[in-house]
Structure 1
Amino acid sequence: MEYLKLAVEFVKAAAWPLAIAWVAYYFRDAIIAQLPRVTKVGPVTLDPPPPPQQANLPTSKDPAEAIKKVEAAIPPELLREGEAIVRGLVPKSEDRDLLTLSSGLLIGGLFERTYNFIFGSQLLLLERLNSSPLSLDDLKEFYERGKTAFPEIYKTYTFEQWLAFLESSSLVARVNGGSLFAITPRARGFLRYLIDNGYTTQKVG
C-alpha cells in the first residue's frame, strides 16, 4: 500500500494542473502545454518513455477532457475501486473530478506494478480466460508451458505459487463452486490497459 499512499500524496500536492497533465499524457490522447512531464513517484515509474511522434499530439487544458479520457480507459468498477482506496487514505476527498483523476492514477500505477511482476504464461492465460472460464487442469497446462520454456525460472516456482499470484492480484476468481476459474473485471481492465499502451504479452515466464 505504500506506493498507493505515495501516489495519493503526489496528486494532493500537484492538484489540478499537474494531475491533469499526467493523466492526459498517460492515456496517450493529449499533453498539457508547457507543464513538466512526471515520470516517477518516489521509486515507482509511472509511465514509459514517450515515442517521438507524441511531441506532435494536440494539447488540451480542459479538465473535463482529461476526466473523460480516464473514464473511457478504465472500467467503472475499477474506477470505483480506486476511489474507495483514495477515500480510505484521504477521507475528506470532496472534489469529485480530482477524485476520478486520482483513481485513474492509482489504477494505472497498479497495472504498471502488475505488468512488472506477471509472467508471460500468466498473461497468455488471462487472454484465454477472457473468452471463457477454465478448469484447474487447463490452468496447469499454461503453467507447464511456461515451465518448459523457462525451466530455470520455474525450478523452485510451483504451480500453487503461480496460481496464488493471479488470485492475490485479483486477476482470476473461482466460479461454479470452485471447479472453474474466470477472469475478473480487474484483469479485463488490465488487458485493455496493455493494449492501449502497446505493451506486449510475450514476456518471460
Structure 2
Amino acid sequence: MAADGGALKDINEIKSQFRTREGFYKLLTLSDSQQRAGLPRGPSAGVTGGGAGVGLVQGPGAANSSPGFLPPVRVSMVKLKPEDPSEDSERVCFNIGRELYFYTYTNIKKAVDLSKPIDKRIYKGTQPTCHDFNQYSATADSVALIVGFSAGQVQYLDPIKKETSKLFNEEFRSVDLQEDKVREAVTVLLKKHF
C-alpha cells in the first residue's frame, strides 16, 4: 500500500479517459461525438442540452498486437431516411474480435438493447478489422454494409435483408497485410460500387 494513500484516492475518482487492451477510451462531449460521427453541430443540429459519451480513440499504441489481446472495438453508425419520423432512425454496427453485431440505435440517452441484435455474425477463419455503411442509400428496409477482414477479404452485406451478401478478394490470404490497406480497400469499394 502506498505511504501517501494516493492509490486509495484514485478508486473514487471518475475517470475521463482510460486504456484497456482493446484500446484507448476518452469521455467525449456531445458536440465532439457528433463531430466524429459527421453530424452537424450547434443549435441547428436539433440537439438540446449537453451530454457526453465514451468513445474509442484510435491512435499509435491504442491496441496491442500480441496474439493474446483482443483487437480494438470498431463502431459504425448510419442515420436512416425513415418513412415515418417516429420510427427508429439509426443503426449501429460494431465488432468485438471475430463477432459482428448490428443493432437499432435510438438516441444517446437510451442504451442499445444488447440482448436484441438485428443481426449477429461470427467469423471463423478471419476477423473483421473495419466496416462502414453506405449512408446515401440507407433506408429502414435496406442498409449496405461493407466489412474488411484481417486476411484481406472484403464482404458486402445487408444486415436487414440478410439475403444480400457478396465476398470480394476471397482467394487473397495474406497474413501480413496491413490493417490500413484493408480499411483503404473498404473505403474505395464503398465509394466506387455502393
What TM-score do the two structures reach when normalised by structure 1? Answer: 0.26
Q: Which has the higher strand share?
A: 2
Q: Which has the higher helix share?
A: 1
Which structure is higher in RCO with an 8 Å CA cutoff and minimum separation 6? 1
